[in-house]
Structure 1
Amino acid sequence: MSAIDLHARASATFAQKLAETQAVLTQAAQDYAPLTPGAAPRITLACSLGAEDMVLVHLVNSLQLNIGIFVLETGQLHPETLTLLERLKASSRAPVDVFTPVNEAVVQFVSREGKDAMYKSIALRKACCQIRKMEPLSRALAGKEAWITGLRREQSGARAEVPLIDRSEPRVKLNPLADWTWGDVWHYIANNQVDYNPLHDQFYPSIGCAPCTRAISLGEDFRAGRWWWEDEAAKECGLHVKSSPLPEKLSS
């Protein structure tokens, strides 16, 4: 059974949520448009190549918005994810920029700590994330005033208060799918023939680096397959960890 067959169930307010998401994206493209002709937009979409982000990519492209897209290619992604990335680069109307880790930093880390360092301690796993994700992210966001993510409140307890628009950090973060359910995501994918990672059909709801992602079983938490050997409270790579409490939910 495919992920579409299993999950595509729109919530009662899906049409309203979709309209809100489209409005947020359209307004963002206007608010952070290039300051001079030919310059890059001041906003970018972080695409992990997961289901949520593929929905956002489809919306940006179908609405013909001037919003760039970036992917962090960590050097540890599944073959299925890399193949999807190639399809995305070939088909996307919006430009897709790929950011990779500094090779020398990866070589030194692996040489010093071993290729399975992420399993040895949380500190080493986070050090790996720093090299493979956080440092490339800083380059991807350089010069941007805002960025877009596929965060949803339903994904985990740590994300339960994700606002639609987060202005609590120097760089504005927009989470246009904050209110969407997993069923909403797959309903949109099914209705719009959105390309997606085939690992979703193999019970991978949340897909990261290959060594740090596994399939989940019926009844397990949505993010149970990420860093499954760690304490639940530590299960973030750092991309969406805040230095201060989340603000009250904001509306556009």
Structure 2
Amino acid sequence: MSDALELEALAAELSARFADKEPQELLRAGVAHFGRRIALVSSFGTESAVLLHMLAGIAPATPVLFLNTGKLFGETLRYRTKLVERLGLTDCRAIAPDAAEEQAADKDGLLWRLDPNACCALRKVRPLAKAVAPFEAWITGRKRYQSGTRAALPLAEVADGKLKLNPLANWDRARVEAYLDLHDLPRHPLEADGFLSIGCMPCTDRVAPGEDIRSGRWRGTGKTECGIHLPLPSATTQVGAS
């Protein structure tokens, strides 16, 4: 499944076939097609329980990749443990930055303040590129309503030679809330305090009423994405492929 044209055709087929279907059907098809060659990448943020719950009901042994950047809220780490145990997920892998690279590039831990893009590359982009390298496909929880930059998000796409599935792309906030309530899923403890999209602690702020759900991320910097869903620079691609 490494042929680029074949992957593009598969992405187009899946996007069309599941356009009016429930997310679980796309998830089930992806797991059935790729087996252990597909992983779900989760931040264990405010909406993560929805997709994790769906996956747990289909294939709980599917690898779940969690980026532990070393800058996360303690509440996020405890929420991850709670959800994994509650849902019965059996292969949740914590992905950390390379220790030697972190020491060289961010010895004092303040890179997030000096150069947030470089910090994200160090703590998220390169570690995830390496973690997903063995897989042929991966699953994200992105949704079109989260921000203007995601408004045209497809259900399936090809990025950096891998298929990416976005089963919840066409869900809105109301459907997310309804699903969480229907299945009595635990909420991220910071959500009640106004944190609606949660990443690293220094770069996450509360969201005001009427703002995009991701407006509290990197507030005031003009930055909108950490980079894991952007095309990899050639140097990063080499690191991820090693």
Query: Is the pair's TM-score, using the shorter chain for normalization, greater than 0.5?
Result: yes
Residue of structure 1 aligned with 2:118, choices 115, 122, 127: 127
2:91 aligned with 1:81: no
Q: How many residues align?
A: 214
1:222 is paired with a residue whose SS is coil
2:30 alignment partner in structure 1: 28
2:164 is paired with a residue whose SS is strand
Structure 2 distance, partners of 1:202, 1:45, is 27
1:72 alignment partner in structure 2: 67
Residue 90 and residue 26 in structure 1: after superposition, are their counterparts in 2 closer, same or farther (change >3 A)?
same
2:96 alignment partner in structure 1: 100
Residue 18 and residue 230 in structure 1: after superposition, are their counterparts in 2 closer, same or farther (change >3 A)?
same
Q: Output the TM-score relative to the length of structure 1.
A: 0.79
Structure 1 distance, partners of 2:136, 2:65, is 15
* Identical positions, percent: 34
Q: Which amino acid aligns with 1:29?
A: V
Q: What RMSD over aligned residues (CA atoms) do the two structures have, in Å?
A: 2.0
2:152 alignment partner in structure 1: 161
Q: Which amino acid aligns with 1:227?
A: W
Q: Which amino acid aligns with 2:163?
A: V
Deviations 1:62-119 (A, max 9, x none): 22355221101000000100111222343433411111111222222223xx433323
2:204 aligned with 1:209: no
2:149 is paired with a residue whose SS is helix
1:237 alignment partner in structure 2: 226
Aligned residue runs from structure 1 range 165-244, under 5 A: 165-167=156-158, 169-231=160-222, 234-242=223-231
2:10 alignment partner in structure 1: none
CA contact (8 A) 1:29 1:65 kept: no
Residue 66 and residue 115 in structure 1: after superposition, are their counterparts in 2 closer, same or farther (change >3 A)?
closer
1:130 Cα deviation (Å)?
A: 1.0
1:211 is paired with a residue whose SS is helix
Q: Which amino acid aligns with 1:95?
A: D
Residue 161 and residue 177 in structure 1: after superposition, are their counterparts in 2 closer, same or farther (change >3 A)?
same
Q: Which amino acid aligns with 1:170?
A: G
Structure 1 distance, partners of 2:205, 2:162, is 32
Deviations 1:143-166 (A, max 9, x none): 101000001000111111100011
1:196 Cα deviation (Å)?
A: 2.7
1:129 Cα deviation (Å)?
A: 0.7
2:56 is paired with a residue whose SS is helix
Q: Output the TM-score relative to the length of structure 2.
A: 0.82
CA contact (8 A) 2:38 2:139 kept: yes
4+ aligned runs moved over 6 Å, structure 1: none
CA contact (8 A) 2:203 2:217 kept: yes
1:32 is paired with a residue whose SS is helix
Residue 85 and residue 168 in structure 1: after superposition, are their counterparts in 2 closer, same or farther (change >3 A)?
closer
1:59 is paired with a residue whose SS is helix
Structure 1 distance, partners of 2:160, 2:103, is 32
Q: Which amino acid aligns with 1:75?
A: G
Residue 139 and residue 187 in structure 1: after superposition, are their counterparts in 2 closer, same or farther (change >3 A)?
same
Structure 1 distance, partners of 2:100, 2:53, is 35
Structure 2 distance, partners of 1:151, 1:242, is 16
2:106 is paired with a residue whose SS is helix
Structure 1 distance, partners of 2:56, 2:159, is 28
Aligned residue runs from structure 1 range 49-64, under 5 A: 49-64=44-59
